[in-house]
Every structure is written in structure tokens, then in C-alpha cells.
Amino acid sequence: MAWLFRNWALKLGALALATILYTGLVFSGSFSDKTFPGVSVTALAQPEGTYLLTQQLGTVDIKYRSATDLPASVTAESFAVTIDLSTYDMSQAPQVQSLRIHVRPLVDGVEVLTYTPDAVSVAIDRLAEVQVRVAVDSGQVPPGLEISTPQLSVQRVAASGPQSLLDRVDRALATVRIDPSGIDCCGQVDLVPVDADGRRVESVELNPSSVRVQIDVNTVETSRTVAIRPLLIGSPAAGFEVGSVTADPSVVTLRGAPEVLSAIAEVLTEPISLSGSNSTLRASGTLVLPEGARLADAAAAEPTVVVQIRETVATRTLLLGLVCQGAPADSACLPHVQQVAVTVRGTVSALDAIDPGGLTATLDVTGQGPGDHLIQATVGLPQGVSLVTMSPISTTVTIAPPATPAP
């Protein structure tokens, strides 16, 4: 030990001189202390067959000293900020553990003084693989449509990832949307790992990652009973007109989408021609169904249509002379008007057959004595013709007794 204390005074002086020189060099401005913030932490030596659950390791603020004449500026790449994942205790996986951060400069002339934080909390889990079922989410089916059970190209897929996350995976979900047009669905659809509540489970991969989905889309049908209306075209023969029109059956039941049937109030037949008809017409009327509707009973496609063709009924006004009837013997019956206007009603053929010269308006004065009397005229009409009105209805008639013979 003697050599240690030999010339101890000289050695102590040299140490003091070195300290003074170093201190002077620092305070002379040859070095400067600075802080570089936000240098990312990098993970090293991850154990094989594991997954780093802590994807964001954070950053470190580094206080360093560098020479003022450093040729290059200090950047984040001037430091190596790492953690050693091999120090993680896998027997405690996937619990969070604190691993020490290591910082060292990568540029000559830079010295790391301190840094914060000096540790980071990380979690590592073992990788595993399980089989999960494939499910389809078709969302809200548009009104008026119904879908069949989805047909899948595969029923189960392999899910791989951290064991703790795989435990949460309930199914591989294929999400599809049904088109309101009713076109069949869907083709190749991507799969997403989800938990029992339908939330996506991150960091889990599926193999295969997609599945082929086939869903038949059909229209939801309902029924509605509406009236049948024969469509008539053309006109009957001259002097004839259309009377009653009936269809047997008079109603028909349709099936189709609710929105289609709600707009249908009646069903027409194909055109039925009446041109030149002068008698009742019986025909089979083929129904013309609106688009999107069909018959509930195909036998009702051709109802029997009966169109009554009858002679046209009209009115006609005639001027008739007045004739007295039942006047006392040798007395004169003198109407104050000579004609009345008579309006009659009947078929055109019956009216055409009337001979105005053969009709008279009769004033019945039976039992009336001499003087003026108000008498209502009567008219005898042929069969099929009826009286509508007569003007005037009543006529003043004067009955004059016979003249006294001269002496």
C-alpha cells in the first residue's frame, strides 16, 4: 500500500488542477446544456410468439450537454431511447409491468445528463389462434321486403392474436345492407372480429378475412280486394244507349307489395267494343293488372261482363188541337184556346211512330151547363209513350145554349 501514498501531495495537486481546468473549460462556453423533448421510445428484444399490447410507449424528454462547435445539430435521431422487452416477466402476462428506459447518445460530442420518465408501463401477451363462427348482420330490412337465411361460403374462420383479446371475440361479423330495390345480396364481404355486444376487437386477424354471402330478397306480399270496372269503347247503334253494366264476379282479390296495392282502387278489363250494338251484350272481359300486382285466384282473370243496350229514351213536344166531348145537345162548346203544347216521353222508335194528326186533346164537359168552365184536357197516347207536361193544363170553355127560334 506504500505506493498508493507515495508522492500523495503531487497526485492530489494534479487532481485539483484537472478539476479546475475542466470547470474552466465548461464555464468558458465550449459546452452547453439543453433539453430535447419528445423522443419516442422503441421496444427491443420482444419475446417470440408474443404480442405487445402497449402500442404507444410514449416519449422521453432528454437533458443533454454538447460541444458548442458540434458540426451537426442535435435531433431525435441523435439518441437511442429503448426498453428491453426480454426483461418482461412472461409468467405474469398480460399484466402491466414497468420496464426501465435506456437512453444513450448516438452522436459524438453529446452527453446525456438526465431524462424523464425513466420507465414505461407495458403489457405483453402470448399469441394464440381459435376458431370462431361467422355471422351476418343484414341491418334494417327495407319495408315491403323479406330475406332468406344467409348462405355462407364458410361457417367458421381462424382468429389469431393476443390470448387476452381472443377471449373477447364472440364471432366474425359480415355486415351487409339490403337494397330497397329488392335485388339479391351480397357477394364477397369482409369479416370483422366482434365481441358479444357487437363491438370490434382490435389487434385480432381473421383467416380468411372475407366470406361469400348469398341472401335471397323477396317482396313481402299482402292482399287487397278491389272492384272490377269493364272498359267500354265505341257507341251503340243510333237510337240506343247503354243501360246497366255488370261484371261477374264484380270484385277481384289482388296480391302484391303493400305500397303497390295501396295505390290500386279498381281493376279495368281490356276494351269491350259497343260499336253498332242494338241489344244486350255479353262478353268475357280479360283483366288488365297493374304492374306489381297479381291475382290471388287465377280463375278470376276473365269475368263475365253484361252490358245492357236499350233504346234511347227521349222527350218530344207536340201541338194538339182541342176537342170538346159531352156537351149538352144542341149546345155549342167553345174553347178559349185552340191548341195545347203536349210534351211526351218514350223511346225514340215509339216517338217516331206517333202521328200528330191522329192525336187530339179532349175537353170533357159532360154535365156542365151553359156558361164558362175551366176544364183540364186529356190526351190518349200510344203504348210506350207517357205524358210529361201539358201547357196550358186547364182551358176555359164556354157552353152556349141553343138559340131561341124567331116567332
pLDDT band (50, 70, 90) for residue 194: very high
What local confidence, expressed as pLDDT, does residue 6 receive?
Answer: 59
Tell me the three cell numbers of residue 283: 262478353
The predicted pLDDT at position 142 comes to: 85
pLDDT above 60: residue 26: no
- The phi and psi torsions of 8 (rounded to 5 degrees) equal -65, -30
Q: State whether 303 and 280 are in the same domain.
A: yes
Dist CA 215 CA 137 (whole Å):
11
Overall average pLDDT of the 173-201 stretch:
91
- Which is more confidently placed, 72 or 204? 204
Do 117 and 193 have their domain in common?
A: no
Which residues lie across from 287 on neighbouring strands? 269
The C-alpha cell at 264 is: 290500386
Considering the chain, what is the average pLDDT of its residues?
88
pLDDT band (50, 70, 90) for residue 17: low
Residue 163 belongs to domain with CATH number:
2.170.120.40
Q: Residue 381: inside a domain, yes or no?
A: yes
Q: Number of folded domains in the chain?
A: 4
Range of the domain at 284: 223-311
Sheet containing 313-325, strands listed edge to edge, beginning at the edge strand earlier in sequence: 378-379, 361-364, 313-325, 339-347, 385-391
Q: Is residue 103's pLDDT more than 60?
A: yes
| Domain membership flag for residue 395 | yes
Strands (E), 203-312: 205-207, 210-215, 217-219, 222-229, 232-233, 240-248, 251-256, 266-269, 272-273, 281-284, 287-288, 293-295, 304-311
Angstrom distance (rounded) from CA 266 to CA 288: 10
Which of 219, 243, 270 delimits the end of a domain? 219
Give the pLDDT of residue 292: 86
Q: What pLDDT, on the 0 to 100 scale, is given for residue 10? A: 64
3-state DSSP helix/strand/coil percent for the chain, to nearest 5?
A: 15, 50, 35
The model's pLDDT over 254-290, given as tens digits with 9 standing for 90+, comes to 988 888 888 999 999 999 999 989 999 999 889 999 9
Among residues 198, 219, 240, the one where a domain terminates is: 219
Kindly state whether residue 11 falls inside one of the protein's structural domains: no
Per DSSP, the three-state class of 390 is strand
Mean of pLDDT values over 377-402? 90
For residue 16, being part of any structural domain is answered with no
User: Is the Cβ–Cβ distance between 379 and 338 less than 8 Å?
Assistant: no
Looking at residue 184, what is its pLDDT? 84
- DSSP string of 177-212? ---TT---EEEEEEEEEE-TTS-B-TT-EEESSEEE
Cell representation of residue 198: 357487437
Q: How much is the pLDDT for 16? A: 58
Of 219, 254, 276, which residue is a domain's last?
219
What confidence category does residue 219 fall into, taking pLDDT thresholds of 50, 70 and 90?
confident
Average pLDDT over residues 17-37: 64
Residues 352 and 375 grouped into a single domain: yes
pLDDT at residue 212 is higher than 80: yes
Q: What is the mean pLDDT of residues 326-330?
A: 85
Mean pLDDT of 179-205: 91
Taking residues 4-24, report their average pLDDT.
Answer: 56
Length of the chain: 407
Using CA atoms, how far apart are residues 198 and 171, in angstroms rounded to an integer? 9
First to last CA, the chain: 212
- Residue 55 to residues 43, 95, 121: CA-CA distances in angstroms? 10, 15, 11
169 located within any domain: yes
Which of 23-27, 84-88, 179-183, 218-222 shows the lowest mean pLDDT across its residues?
23-27
Give the Cα separation of 353 and 350 in Å (integer).
5
Q: Is the peptide bond before 37 cis (omega within 30 degrees of 0)?
A: no
230 and 215 in one domain? no
For residue 307, pLDDT over 90 is answered with: yes
